[in-house]
Chain A
Amino acid sequence: MLEIPVIRWGKEYQSMGKTAVVHFETGETLAQVNEANGGLIKMDMRKAKKAREVLRQFSIQELVDKVAAAGELFENATLPLGNGEQSPDDFCRIQSATTGLPEHMCKFNMTKNAFVMKNMGDILDALTRGLPYDILSNGYGQEGRGVMVSYQANCNASGWVLPSNSPGVHTLWLPVIPLQIGLVMKPGKSEPWTPYRIYEAMAQAGIPREAFCLYPGAGDSGAELGGAVLESCERSVIFGGQATVEKYEGNPRISAHGPGFSKIILGDDVVDDWEKYLDLMVDSVYLNSGRSCISCSGIWASRHTEEIADAMAQRLGPIVPLPMSDPNAGLAAFTMAGAAKAMNGQIDGGCDSGAVTEVTAKYRDGDRFIEQERCDFLRPTVLHVSDPDDAMANTEFMFPFCSVVECPQDQMIRKIGYTLVGTCLTKDENFSRQLLDATNIDRLNIGEVKTLQLNWLQPHEGNIIDFLYRARAFQNSPPPAH
């Protein structure tokens, strides 16, 4: 039996409490993870300063190089895991088996994480806007233009309370270690695999283990552990639902990442050519099984919406679940009991509205909800929504789901609400200016970019540099006379 220890600043710890990570289809226990307790995390965080100290023994450039080497190991090497070891194929298989994500999607996400690690230098250069690394390391320094700048770390270690839905999310914490800040993770209950594998890859690449803590867990214990991470790290990131976002809103120590409500907007100037963008729209909804916050959940246009919805439904409606090992599998399983059924009920309830029509039903041979013994599936669903104020106009579910919303262009920006990724198809300069000024859109794409096509050189849900470091005044000589 694979047994995964708690990692306490690089030291393995076997707990008295263990929880099973199980195969979502068979119920077989694939691993036992050791669960810490909240007080133990608080105790460990008292030593967070040492993590930063040990990382500062290396330059940021050295750490960037080591992370790149780790990316190679993560993608291609057989690495130790707990009391066993894991090849890249083992990794994809077990990740699929516990999360319900098809194996080829696990492989895709693995490649994505490796890409970010291998290109960390470019990413940091972009996120810091070319700031010389030693200014971050030393706390101050002169930029090329002769101006003194100072950046102070907000924390010695940052906490990450991670989800299980999509392993691509791990790209977000990868810059932490090269930024010389300790890394504290509470992995998702069915996805300890990526954090542990990257930890091991980074250690094998020469990054001190003393910079890492991993506290796996599930259920009530998992909630306690996540709470302790948030409470004791000076800067933390948590992933959750809308309630989680609202709970931590305004808390400068905690960045809560919730639903994305990502969208595609067709401007009046291009909407008559909507067919040209059909592939882009379908891929944005369907790829990665619609599991990401960057998956498109809404397509907004002022006209042709019924035709768009119908064309989308023709492509997505017939898709059925396939075995996880099938390279054509496009649908992830819901492994949490009752989750898919609840979503299905919400969608059915939403369809009671006179403004909402489910378009996929006529192209789907069977029900949307497929109940199996140990997991469930939801088949792709496209709704047409004729009223932008209807509740179903702006919602998100963790499967290929999309509302095609009819809305006049001059109301769109106001009505779309918060939008993590907004792909806006328009050449109208006036509309583009309004979109650029819209503060409810986080990542703005003006042009033919799928919502899932992230450029890693761009910040995501705020710049991690600004979260982990703060710009401040620093002087070591009097200013010029004035």
Chain B
Amino acid sequence: MSDSPLDQKTAQAKETLDAHVRESVEWHFNPETGCDYWLNKAKTLDFDPRKDIQCFEDVKKFPLFEDEDLRGGPLDRWVPKGLAGKPTYVFETGGTTGIPKSRVVIEDHWIDYENFSETLPDEHFPRGANWLMLGPSGPRRLRLAVEHLAQHRGGICFCVDLDPRWVVKLLKKGKTEEAKAYAAHVIDQAVTILRANHNVQCMFATPKLLEALALRLMDDGGSIEDAGIKGIFAGGTEFTPQWYRFCKEELLGENVFITPTYGNTLMGLACGKPFDIADEYKITYFAPQPRAVIEVVQFDDYNKVVEVGETGRVKLYTFTKELFIPGFMERDEGEREPAIDVYPWHGISGTRPFHELLTTTTVGVY
């Protein structure tokens, strides 16, 4: 192995991760500080996490985390005793039918987005400017997280009403016209905010909604730039290289900055590699290590990462004070990417729905 500056940074990042994992395991499996779920789970394991988990690789001794365990109550089982009594949020995923998966959060969404804030260039996301959150509302982490991001940067966040569960129901019933009408209703709300002199300069949007908003503004003779927007971050597997290029070249114009993000309620937010024309719009994400880790693993062995450039399924880990996830198989796949200077650990590109689940997943409903 060479000893380049990047290699040194990568080695340092690994040490940091290993130390963070030890600290996290000690916290979550200590009867004084851990939550009931993990303390009970430890009794079923054939190893002692506090003794046997000494580095990140050791985490693979845990069985895969089953997100089905997140369904239903009592939610107290997820709250670490060391944080008991603090004001607690609950965020949900899924839930179009049946009981949704729930995650309790105390401050993680604030911390994640404050960290993410450090990656946003001030010239495109001016501090003090107001924000528009054009994404799902209701019991979603994203809505409060973006609002906190805006407040953290000195602004106010304007939101819209958007119930993705209703959209999924419409689409499953084949009611595409009604789904379109609902999307138009969401865009109406966004346009109203942008035209109300609120000094909105920054946005979060899903790709579909951003596209619909930009086209609506064009239909009315304006544009995203004319509406005062300078910076946008968007996320999801629909943020493809082609869509990225389309945004930069046609939808937004050269004066509006857009950056991709990738994440979910369990992990938090992975940042995109800073735009470089040499990448030909390839989108590469890096997890917010050491709080979370993304691995690209073999389809037939979820404990083995693929080589750089090879394709595999996305495996997520979370190691915060509030949540311990020792390996969760995300519903996406992609290619493993090498470390870079600003993120000296492996990343992932080409994220898209996991091919084996394609027929059962409704993506990009809003």
Please, which residues of chain A bring their CB within 8 A of the CB of B245? 16
Q: Which of B94-102, B134-142, B236-244, B326-334 contacts A (4 or more CB under 8 A)?
A: B236-244
The verdict on A414 contacting chain B, using a C-beta distance below 8 Å, is: no
Q: Flag if B218 contacts A35 (CB, 8 Å).
A: no
| Alpha-carbon gap, A377 to B26, bound state (A) | 61
Please, which residues of chain B bring their CB within 8 A of the CB of A16? 240-242, 244-245, 280-281
Interface contacts (Cβ under 8 Å), in number, total 41
- Known contacts A46-B218, A220-B358; A39/B251 CB under 8 A: yes
Give which listed residue, A36, A220, A231, contacts B242 with CB less than 8 A: A36
- Known contacts A220-B358, A231-B180; A37/B243 CB under 8 A: yes
The verdict on B66 contacting chain A, using a C-beta distance below 8 Å, is: no
| Binary flags per residue of A21-45, CB closer than 8 Å to B gives 1, else 0 | 0000000000000011111101100
- Known contacts A16-B281, A220-B358; A39/B243 CB under 8 A: yes
Closest to B211 in A: A39
Please, which residues of chain A bring their CB within 8 A of the CB of B280? 16
Closest to A15 in B: B242
Closest to B180 in A: A231
Please, which residues of chain A bring their CB within 8 A of the CB of B218? 46
Closest to B247 in A: A39
Please, which residues of chain A bring their CB within 8 A of the CB of B177? 251
The verdict on A247 contacting chain B, using a C-beta distance below 8 Å, is: yes
Which residues in chain A, 1-32, are within 8 Å of chain B measured between CB atoms? Answer: 15-17
The verdict on B215 contacting chain A, using a C-beta distance below 8 Å, is: yes
Please, which residues of chain B bring their CB within 8 A of the CB of A38? 211
- Known contacts A40-B250, A43-B250; A247/B174 CB under 8 A: yes
Q: Flag if A37 contacts B215 (CB, 8 Å).
A: no
Q: Flag if B241 contacts A39 (CB, 8 Å).
A: no
Which residues in chain A, 34-75, are within 8 Å of chain B measured between CB atoms? Answer: 35-40, 42-43, 46
Most buried by A among B242, B244, B280: B242
Closest to A42 in B: B215
| Alpha-carbon gap, A35 to B243, bound state (A) | 11
How many of A's residues come within 8 Å of B, CB to CB? 16
The verdict on B246 contacting chain A, using a C-beta distance below 8 Å, is: yes
- Known contacts A40-B250, A46-B218; A35/B242 CB under 8 A: yes
Give which listed residue, B180, B219, B246, B358, contacts A37 with CB less than 8 A: B246
Closest to B280 in A: A16
Which residues in chain B, 184-220, are within 8 Å of chain A measured between CB atoms? Answer: 211, 215, 218-219
Which residues in chain A, 210-261, are within 8 Å of chain B measured between CB atoms? Answer: 220, 231, 247, 251
| Alpha-carbon gap, A2 to B244, bound state (A) | 25
| Alpha-carbon gap, A16 to B283, bound state (A) | 11
Binding site of B, secondary structure by majority: helix, strand, loop or mixed? helix
| Alpha-carbon gap, A46 to B250, bound state (A) | 13
Please, which residues of chain A bring their CB within 8 A of the CB of B215? 39, 42-43, 46
| Alpha-carbon gap, A17 to B242, bound state (A) | 6
Please, which residues of chain A bring their CB within 8 A of the CB of B251? 39, 43
| Alpha-carbon gap, A42 to B214, bound state (A) | 11
How many of B's residues come within 8 Å of A, CB to CB? 21
Please, which residues of chain A bring their CB within 8 A of the CB of B240? 16-17, 37
| Alpha-carbon gap, A37 to B240, bound state (A) | 9
Please, which residues of chain A bring their CB within 8 A of the CB of B219? 46
| Alpha-carbon gap, A43 to B218, bound state (A) | 9
Closest to B219 in A: A46
| Binary flags per residue of B218-235, CB closer than 8 Å to A gives 1, else 0 | 110000000000000000
Please, which residues of chain B bring their CB within 8 A of the CB of A17? 240-242
| Alpha-carbon gap, A16 to B218, bound state (A) | 24
Please, which residues of chain A bring their CB within 8 A of the CB of B246? 37, 39-40, 43
| Alpha-carbon gap, A231 to B250, bound state (A) | 19
| Alpha-carbon gap, A220 to B357, bound state (A) | 13
| Alpha-carbon gap, A272 to B251, bound state (A) | 68
| Binary flags per residue of B334-366, CB closer than 8 Å to A gives 1, else 0 | 000000000000000000010000100000000
B258 to chain A, nearest CB (A): 13
- Known contacts A42-B215, A43-B251; A37/B174 CB under 8 A: no
Closest to A43 in B: B250
Please, which residues of chain A bring their CB within 8 A of the CB of B243? 37, 39
Please, which residues of chain B bring their CB within 8 A of the CB of A247? 174, 176
Please, which residues of chain A bring their CB within 8 A of the CB of B176? 247
Please, which residues of chain A bring their CB within 8 A of the CB of B211? 38-39, 42
| Alpha-carbon gap, A247 to B171, bound state (A) | 11
Closest to B249 in A: A40
Please, which residues of chain B bring their CB within 8 A of the CB of A231? 180
| Alpha-carbon gap, A17 to B238, bound state (A) | 12
A245 to chain B, nearest CB (A): 12
Closest to B281 in A: A16
| Alpha-carbon gap, A17 to B353, bound state (A) | 15
Please, which residues of chain A bring their CB within 8 A of the CB of B174? 247
| Alpha-carbon gap, A35 to B241, bound state (A) | 11
A141 to chain B, nearest CB (A): 33
Please, which residues of chain B bring their CB within 8 A of the CB of A39? 211, 215, 243, 246, 251
Please, which residues of chain A bring their CB within 8 A of the CB of B241? 16-17
Please, which residues of chain B bring their CB within 8 A of the CB of A220? 353, 358
Closest to B250 in A: A43
A239 to chain B, nearest CB (A): 18
Closest to A248 in B: B176
Which residues in chain B, 85-142, are within 8 Å of chain A measured between CB atoms? Answer: none
Which residues in chain A, 343-370, are within 8 Å of chain B measured between CB atoms? Answer: none
13 residue pairs from A and B, CB less than 8 Å apart: A16-B241, A16-B245, A17-B240, A17-B241, A17-B242, A36-B242, A37-B246, A38-B211, A39-B246, A42-B211, A43-B215, A43-B251, A251-B177
Q: B residues touching A (Cβ–Cβ < 8 Å)?
A: 174, 176-177, 180, 211, 215, 218-219, 240-246, 250-251, 280-281, 353, 358
List 6 tightest A-B contacts by C-beta distance, closest first: A16-B241, A16-B242, A39-B211, A17-B242, A37-B242, A16-B281
Not counting A16-B245, A39-B251, A43-B250, a sample of 6 additional A-B residue pairs whose C-beta atoms are within 8 angstroms of each other reads A17-B241, A37-B243, A38-B211, A39-B246, A42-B211, A220-B358
